[in-house]
Amino acid sequence: MSNQLSNVAAVVGIGHTDWRKDYAAHRAGEAGKLDSIGLASLAFTRALKDAGISRDEVDGLIVGPTTPYERMGEVLGIDARWGGQADAMLAVMQATMAIHAGLAEVVALVYGNNQRTGKTNYGGANAAGGASFLSYVYHAPWGFTSQGALYALMFQRYMEETGLTSTQLGEVAVAQRLAASLNPEAVMQKRITVEDYLASDFVCEPLHLFDYCLVNDGGVALIIMSAERARKLRPDPVMIHGVGRYDLNRGATSLEPRLTEYYLPAQQKVAAQVFDMAGVGPEDISSAQIYDSFSCHIPLALEGYGYCAPGEAGRFMQDGNIKLGGRLPVNTSGGHLSESYMQGWGHQIEAVRQIRGTCGERQVENCRFVHYSSDVAGKAVSIIYGR
Amino acid sequence: MGKSQPVMSIDDRIMWDGIEHGELKLQSCSHCRTLRYPPGPICAECLSMESNWVPVAGTGTILSWVTFHKRYFDDFPPPYNSVAVRLDEGPIIMSNLVGDEPEGSWIGKRVRLEFVDHDGRRQHAVRIDRAG
Ligand SMILES: [Zn+2]
């Protein structure tokens, strides 16, 4: 398979907004001071500062799905040689591709989302994402709505088939909250136990409140440049060693690939591509950052990428493997469940921080490679970051 | 909040007309006979754009289920269930289980389709099939 995208691009700058402070202010009844474009702008200025470059060096711009591309470029004063709009994982892939193709040398990736103060609805009438994913709205006549319900339905069957218990699933929320308690920037820092998890309310049974991501405002930005230029810029660029993607579209609305295979074939195909490209295997990965709108993404990814055998994720998690200090610490910032719901963007910068070794008390020792994975609605994507 | 609404593409309309008359019909490819759900303009198997509509027997098996404890729609006060049913003809549909609920797991239970009035529209629901 192709390894042409390995080590051609590197992350040299990261930035994000003060989501913990903003969340507290919102809870105290204050109105948000920044909209989505403002949040993205603040994150961008911080990423630029972290990279130590000037705005005028940026010649590529990728904007997240929640802000308009042109306006984003306008407010940041960026005329781009190459640009586009993408979600977090595709943004990183596209930046890498553009740099490899010589279409840009320094790409800014910016994302801002005022989903809490802007009252975004992820279920019910006009559920967010319905224009892109028909399954998010198609089954509404039977009250079936929200992305959480889609995963609850999928996981109900998975649990019966594999014997994974709610107690074992609770390990995800507990481990990520433990990590968040060591992350001064995390929105939720109070540690929880499996008993707390089991006692929490159901939202869409079998999923509990603690299985769900937060909804908070924030922004994230990254600066990605050619590996060659990155090495001259700073001693610790974080290289992109591999990328991969596979989409299950057939039967998506009738939920066939969710309910019969739990997206496993897509993740296995991506695993083959991304590990081959990076020249590493699951045994070489120090930490995994897994897109977690819901906790159940984690066991599915553990199996899909070969960290454990299909059907074995419950036991793998119960044995402490995904906690800090375990074999494969997962979502070491607290992830979407406890740090901040930045739709995968926060996971990219946590991967960078872990590789840089700047995570303080939650630092994974000797962190060599970090594997990012997501499987939003059967669109499996992976990125491997390393030194 | 707001009420639940069916998606009504040009292809969905024919299906909902059938439901209004107490019959679930699925689109069948005129070339390879593959059934389509949701309805659509083209067969994903053979790419034929010719199709006809065939009634389903109305029997199937529960693949999975959930119970909603949060309110998302004005017309669905929680708690309520949604079930995924594999029709005997092949496609998976979402519906609501009415009548007696099984003890323990619902997965694998045989169900039969019926039609109910829901807040001014006719739609299908399923009931545990004692005979099945
Ligand atoms: Zn056909």
Contact in structure between A160 and A302 (CB atoms under 8 Å) = no
Interface ipTM > 0.95: yes
Residue A233 banded pLDDT, cuts 50, 70, 90: very high
- In this predicted structure, the answer to whether residue A3 has a pLDDT above a threshold of 90 is no
Query: What's the B26 CA to ligand 1 centre distance in angstroms?
Result: 13
Phi, psi at A175, each rounded to 5°: -65, -40
Which two structure tokens, joined as six digits, stand for A175?
């481990």
In percent, the amount of chain A with pLDDT more than 90 equals 93
Give the gap in angstroms from C-alpha A232 to the nearest C-alpha of chain B. Answer: 50
Q: Give the residue-averaged pLDDT of A381-385.
A: 98
CB contact under 8 A, B82 and A140: no
* B chain contacts of residue A166, beta-carbon cutoff 8 Å: none
Contact in structure between A99 and A224 (CB atoms under 8 Å) = yes
Residue A129 banded pLDDT, cuts 50, 70, 90: confident
Higher pLDDT, A125 or A265: A265
Provide the pLDDT for residue A121: 85
Q: pLDDT (tens digit, 0 to 9) for every residue of chain B, 132 residues total?
A: 899 999 999 999 999 999 999 999 999 999 999 999 999 999 999 999 999 999 999 999 999 999 999 999 999 999 999 999 999 999 999 999 999 999 999 999 999 999 999 999 999 999 999 875
- In this predicted structure, the answer to whether residue A86 has a pLDDT above a threshold of 80 is yes
CB contact under 8 A, B84 and A255: yes
Write down all domains in chain B, each with its CATH number in brackets.
7-55 (no CATH), 57-132 (2.40.50.840)
Query: What's the A254 CA to ligand 1 centre distance in angstroms?
Result: 17
Which two structure tokens, joined as six digits, stand for A182?
């060591």
Residue A119 banded pLDDT, cuts 50, 70, 90: confident
Find the DSSP H helices in A107-193: 135-138, 147-162, 166-181
Provide the pLDDT for residue B132: 57
CB contact under 8 A, A255 and B5: no
Provide the pLDDT for residue A2: 62
Q: Which residue of A has its CA nearest to B45?
A: A250
Give the gap in angstroms from C-alpha B107 to the nearest C-alpha of chain A. Answer: 7
Q: Give the residue-averaged pLDDT of A329-347.
A: 98
* B chain contacts of residue A254, beta-carbon cutoff 8 Å: 37-38, 91-93
Of B4, B44, B80, the CB nearest to A140: B4
Q: Which residue of B has its CA nearest to A207?
A: B66
Interface of A with B in 254-313 (CB under 8 A): 254-256, 259-260
Task: Name the catalytic one among A263, A291, A307, A372.
Answer: A291
Which two structure tokens, joined as six digits, stand for B13?
């309309």
Question: Tokens 């066939």 belong to which residue?
Answer: A256
Give the helix/strand (H/E) hosting B97. strand B97-98
- In this predicted structure, the answer to whether residue A311 has a pLDDT above a threshold of 70 is yes
CA–CA distance, A88 with A65 (Å, rounded to integer)? 9
Phi, psi at B114, each rounded to 5°: -140, 175
User: For strand B59-68 and strand B110-118, is the pairing parallel, antiparallel, or unpaired?
Assistant: antiparallel
In the chain, the amino acid numbered A129 is G
User: For strand B121-128 and strand B97-98, is the pairing parallel, antiparallel, or unpaired?
Assistant: parallel
A291 flagged as catalytic = yes
Which two structure tokens, joined as six digits, stand for A62?
């990728």
Interface of A with B in 352-381 (CB under 8 A): none
CA–CA distance, A129 with A249 (Å, rounded to integer)? 16
- In this predicted structure, the answer to whether residue A98 has a pLDDT above a threshold of 60 is yes
Task: Name the catalytic one among A246, A263, A341, A372.
Answer: A341
* B chain contacts of residue A206, beta-carbon cutoff 8 Å: 66
Give the gap in angstroms from C-alpha B80 to the nearest C-alpha of chain A. Answer: 8
CB contact under 8 A, A142 and B5: no
Per-residue pLDDT tens over the stretch A140-176? 999 999 999 999 999 999 999 999 999 999 999 999 9
Which two structure tokens, joined as six digits, stand for A221?
């930005």
* A chain contacts of residue B1, beta-carbon cutoff 8 Å: 124-125
Q: How are the residues of chain B apportioned to helix, strand and coil, as percentages rounded to the nearest 5?
A: 5, 40, 55
pTM of structure: 0.96
Widest Cα–Cα separation across chain A: 58
CB contact under 8 A, B69 and A160: no
CA–CA distance, A334 with A362 (Å, rounded to integer)? 10
Return the residue in B47, B63, B64 with the most chain A beta carbons within 10 A, the one to mutate for interface testing: B64
Return the residue in A133, A142, A207 with the most chain B beta carbons within 10 A, the one to mutate for interface testing: A142
Question: Tokens 């493997």 belong to which residue?
Answer: A321
* A chain contacts of residue B72, beta-carbon cutoff 8 Å: 123-124, 143, 145-146
- In this predicted structure, the answer to whether residue A319 has a pLDDT above a threshold of 90 is yes
- In this predicted structure, the answer to whether residue A368 has a pLDDT above a threshold of 80 is yes
Q: Give the residue-averaged pLDDT of A253-266.
A: 95
- According to DSSP, residue A210 is labeled G
Provide the pLDDT for residue B106: 98
Q: Give the residue-averaged pLDDT of A332-339.
A: 98
CB contact under 8 A, B66 and A153: yes
Query: What's the A156 CA to ligand 1 centre distance in angstroms?
Result: 32
Provide the pLDDT for residue A240: 98
- DSSP track, B39-83: --SS-TTT----EEEEE--SEEEEEEEEEE-S---TT-PSSEEEE
A158 flagged as catalytic = no
Q: How are the residues of chain A apportioned to helix, strand and coil, as percentages rounded to the nearest 5?
A: 40, 20, 40
Q: Residue ranges per domain, chain A?
A: 9-119+214-386
Residue A131 banded pLDDT, cuts 50, 70, 90: confident
Phi, psi at A25, each rounded to 5°: -65, -40
Q: Give the residue-averaged pLDDT of A47-64.
A: 98
Which two structure tokens, joined as six digits, stand for A54?
């000037």
CA–CA distance, A69 with A91 (Å, rounded to integer)? 13
CB contact under 8 A, A142 and B96: yes
CATH classification for the domain delimited by A9-119+214-386, as one of 3.20.130.10, 3.90.1640.30, 1.10.357.10, 3.40.47.10: 3.40.47.10
